[in-house]
Homo-oligomer: A and B are copies of this chain.
Amino acid sequence: MLQGYKATCHWAFCEQLALFGVKVVSERVVIDRDRITGAGVTSGIDFGLTLLSLLWGEEMAKMAQLMMEYDPQPPFQAGTPKTAEKEIVNSLLQLGNPLIEAFLRQTQEIISK
């Protein structure tokens, strides 16, 4: 579905997405022809507003943004592996390792077919 397309996903799974032949881009919302992808979890807000503006126009997207008071002020600069401290990134990767490994096994299984 995304082979040969530029796309994004949660930062911890970008390498796995690339294994499928996807041109992984480190952005929160990526549009390539008729494929739109969003990065991890809260990127869905930016993704959703972008999609809404494409489907229903900017006015509707702005109304949605205003309704949900989306004027983000993160208390920390830790939302990406680039901005978070190394110790934070490592602690989280260690915690998430079983999940990441489980996905990797599935990814490799699918690719090998």
Could you give, for residues 30-42 of chain A, a 1 whenever the CB lies within 8 Å of some chain B CB and a 0 otherwise? 0000000001111
Given A46-B74, A49-B74, A41 contacting B61 (CB threshold 8 A): no
Interface size class of A (residues with CB under 8 A): 35 or more
A66 touches B92 (CB 8 A): yes
- Kindly list the 5 A-B residue pairs having the minimum CB-CB distance in the complex, ordered from nearest: A71-B79, A40-B69, A72-B72, A62-B78, A41-B68
What is A's interface to B at a CB cutoff of 8 Å?
Answer: 10-11, 28-29, 39-43, 45-46, 49-50, 53, 58-59, 61-63, 65-76, 78-81, 83-85, 87-89, 91-92, 95-96
Select the residue from A39, A49, A70 with max chain B CB neighbours within 10 A: A70
Taken together as a complex, chains A and B put the C-alpha atoms of A28 and B73 apart, in Å, by: 8
B96 touches A75 (CB 8 A): no
Taken together as a complex, chains A and B put the C-alpha atoms of A16 and B66 apart, in Å, by: 18
Contacts of A87 in B (CB 8 A): 59
